[in-house]
Structure 1
Amino acid sequence: MKIVNAKVFTPEFIFKDGEICVDKEQFAAVSPDVSKIDAKGLYAIPGLIDIHFHGAVGYDFMDGTKEALRSIAAYEASVGVTSICPATMTMGKEDILKACANARDFKPDDKCSSLVGINMEGPFLSAQKLGAQNPDFVMKPDAEFFRKAQAASGNKIKLLAIAPDTENALNVIAKLKDEVLCSIAHTCCDYDTAVKAIAEGATHLTHLYNAMPPLYHRDPGPIAAGSDANWCEAEIICDGIHVHPAAVRAAFRLFGADRMILISDSMMACGLEDGVYQLGGQKVTVTHRKALLDNGTIAGSATNLFSCMKTAVQKMGIALESAVRCATYNPARSIKILDKVGTIEPGKQADLLLLDDNLDIKALLLRGKWLFNEI
């Protein structure tokens, strides 16, 4: 199959008129299938990659069931997120191990996103910056428990959240930096502690601005430490609720589009109506897409990654090329799956979205097959 006349997002992060060949499940230099799809006037971008979210359509990754994981993966595929790396929560050890083991042998069907990893967000967090994480299950960082979870997952854990200000955190980062991408998260750490954590190997910041000290001119904290280290990257939630548009633009200036990663941090309410839901065993009330614990704490998002990317462009002033890069190439590079997904190149998995000028999805290719095509 050949897709012609599209404005193709290239590995150089620009749009260029061109054509795309697909052979079975991969992009190819040529295709034995002579059929053509005319994508005139449409943008062609890689399938999106969400490396930090918890659930959707009434299910949570921590449910630890095949039904939950399949339902989440099917929803994400339907909204253009073709590769997923769902996150754990701060819950009991057995719950974490169950969720990891459930993901171990997940095989997507034709309607499901590819499971490309696990983000272990809890339980090694600061009790003072938990956000929506459950305080009953916080643990000090423990390399051996991480390794137990990693073994249960079949080595699927790609990201590990650690608060550098907690007991033994820097030692654990140093021990694990060659085994997993360590991320500064849910922390009260100051600038100097964050610098030490980055030097030990924590080169990622979890949902920038959220659950960390703010950027203050006499006490700049982990945001400035991450910006100073040009090998450190940062996630950001662009749902229009977690971070003000001006702060999103400031983050892109601090880190550059090459180091920003768009995430959704969505919870089970994503894709559903307002109502009462659960996150990490805690009640969450969602009103007008805003998810809150009973104490008023924002509890994840109710917005998928594609909608976050669209919001970043249409309401926050982020260039389309930058937003696409930060939802495709950058997350793939971050968790070391860029050899498989993240760009439209021969040999890569054929995940692709065709968008109109309003950035609405007109067609969606999932592993070489049309999930839908309205052209």
Structure 2
Amino acid sequence: MIISGGKVFSGAGFDNRDVFIEGERFAQASTGECLPQDMVDASDCWVLPGLIDVHFHGAMGHDFCDADDEGISAIARYEASQGVTAIFPTTMTLPVERLIPIVTSIAAHSAGEDEAAIAGINMEGPFISPGKVGAQNPAFVRGATVAEFERWQKAAQGKIKLVDVAPEEPGNLEFIREVSDQVRVSLAHMCADYETAAAAFDAGARHMTHLFNAMPSLHHREPGPIAAAADRRDVTCEIIADGVHIAPSMVRLAFSLFPGRMILISDSLRACGLGDGTFELGGQEFTVHGNRATIENGSLAGSVSSVMACLRTAVTKMDIPLADAVRTATMTPAKALGVDDERGSIEPGKIADVVVLDNDLQVKHVILRGRLLF
């Protein structure tokens, strides 16, 4: 296959060049005759690597915590249709008896030819703070233990790539020290001050979950965990740029504080892709009105936007340069989660996942593992 005439994301910007695909991989050049049906015209379009979402819970009426294979397929199919070609299904704060079958079902899933690939699993909770649960269920919050994490990882066939921890809770700093060489640890849903967050980074944490949300804010005398992360050059930070969770000026501030270290996520719920209504999240109900999802107490429950929609919002409504926004949904998450040898950029030898956007940043074509999806 040849994708011709497009403006191809290069990492730093965009180049006018053709993209060659042989089988499921990008190639240096075409090694044989390319038939007309294998030509994709990307004239005046943006050609991006398939997007990666490292943090989201569901879509199209399904949630990964349902532990249902057909539901996983429906979610992965929807994501691929949005140009999101690699996903990290994300769990909730639940009892271990529920978490084990959830990660087992995700690890056992085999992606269909029209489904985004599962590149790993993200464990959001239960090792969080009862004071910053957000839409998580406080009844199931508990301290971090290596034994419980090892049970998850065994059931997940080693596919857990990210685990969330509130560092100020008793025993959690020691947990970070013990597992940070096995999995990327993210600070999340926390009440930690600057010193505690800094200690967590010293212990091996290298990530922050949905920056600004469910954590102390920046303050000039009490700088908090955001400033602690900004002081480190090896810490990546997620951000939800759906136009609801964070004001545009704060998104721009985040990109300035963490140059090259931002990761765009959707944190989407089962309501993503559907309209208004009432839905379930981790045993609690949430209501969707327009682009806003809230639980009964008014707290935001997550988003109803795909990461592609968040990228579009970041560029068109928040003044984030397109190349910067693309990097946060491709190269940066791929490197942070250890899948950059296969994904995140358009380079010979890597998996041929491509999304072609028109000038309005709407999805025109998706190539999934070397196959034209549409």
Runs of 4+ in 1 over 4 A off after TM superposition: none
Residue 38 of structure 1: how far off its partner (Å): 2.4
Alpha-carbon distance change, 33 to 127 in structure 1, aligned in 2, over 3 angstroms:
farther
**Cα offset, 1:3, TM superposition:** 1.3
Per the alignment, residue 126 of structure 2 pairs with 123
Matched residues in 2 for 1:323 and 1:63: separation? 31
Q: What secondary structure, in the 3-state scheme, does the structure 2 residue paired with 1:306 have?
A: helix
Instruction: Name 2:285's counterpart in structure 1.
Output: 283
Corresponding residue pairs, total: 370
1:38 partner letter: D
What SS does the aligned partner of 1:51 have?
A: strand
Residue pair 1:23, 1:33 contacting (<8 A) in 2 also: no
Alpha-carbon distance in 1 for matches of 2:272, 2:113: 21
CA distance in 1, matches of 2:305, 2:291: 7
Q: For residue 168 of structure 1, what is the aligned residue in structure 2?
A: 171
**1:230-245 equivalences in 2 (<5 Å):** 230-245=233-248
Cα distance in 2 for partners of 1:303, 1:33 equals 40
Give yes or no for the alignment of 1:343 onto 2:342.
Answer: no
Deviation string 1:17-40 (CA, Å, 9 cap, x unpaired) is 001001111111123351332211
User: 1:143: Cα distance to partner?
Assistant: 1.1
Find the aligned partners of 1:98 and 1:166 in 2 and give their Cα distance. 26
Deviation readout 1:76-116 (Å, 9 max, x if unpaired): 11111100001100011111111100012211111100000
CA distance in 2, matches of 1:48, 1:94: 32
Q: Does 1:85 align with 2:88?
A: yes
Q: 1:324 aligns with which of 305, 323, 326?
A: 326
User: Which residue number corresponds to residue 26 of structure 2?
Assistant: 27
The answer to whether the aligner puts 1:8 opposite 2:14 as a matched pair is no
Worse-matched range after superposition: 35-44 or 320-329: 35-44
Structure 1 residue 188: Cα displacement:
0.1
The two structures, once aligned, show a CA RMSD in angstroms of 0.8
Structure 1 stretches lacking a partner, 5+ long: none
1:30-109 aligned at under 5 Å gives the runs: 30-31=29-30, 32-35=32-35, 36-109=39-112
Q: With structure 2 as the length reference, what TM-score do the two structures score?
A: 0.98
In the TM superposition, what whole-angstrom CA distance separates every residue of 1:251-276 from its partner, at most 9, and x where no partner exists?
A: 011111x1000000001000001100
Cα deviation code 1:190-242 (max 9, x no counterpart) = 00000000010111000000000000111010000000011111000000000
Tell me, yes or no, if the aligned pair for 1:46 and 1:328 is still in contact at 8 Å: yes
Alignment CA distance shift 1:140-1:37 (3 Å)? same
Q: Is the 1:267–1:302 contact (alpha carbons within 8 Å) kept by the matching residues of 2?
A: yes
Q: Which residue of 2 aligns with 1:134?
A: 137
Could you say what secondary structure the match of 1:128 adopts?
Answer: coil
The residue correspondences of 1:219-368 to structure 2 (distance < 5 A) are 219-256=222-259, 258-368=260-370
Deviation (angstroms), 1:13: 2.2
1:258-317 CA-partner distances (Å, limit 9, x unpaired): 100000000100000110001111000000120000000100101110000000000001
What SS is found at the alignment partner of 1:77? helix
Partner SS state of residue 345, structure 2: coil
Q: Distance in 1 between matches of 2:41 and 2:112?
A: 27
SS of 2:338's equivalent in the other structure is: coil
Distance 1:118 1:103 in 2: 8
Amino acid at match of 2:239: I
Aligned to 2:217: 214
TM-score (norm 1): 0.98
Structure 2: segments with no counterpart, 5+ residues: none
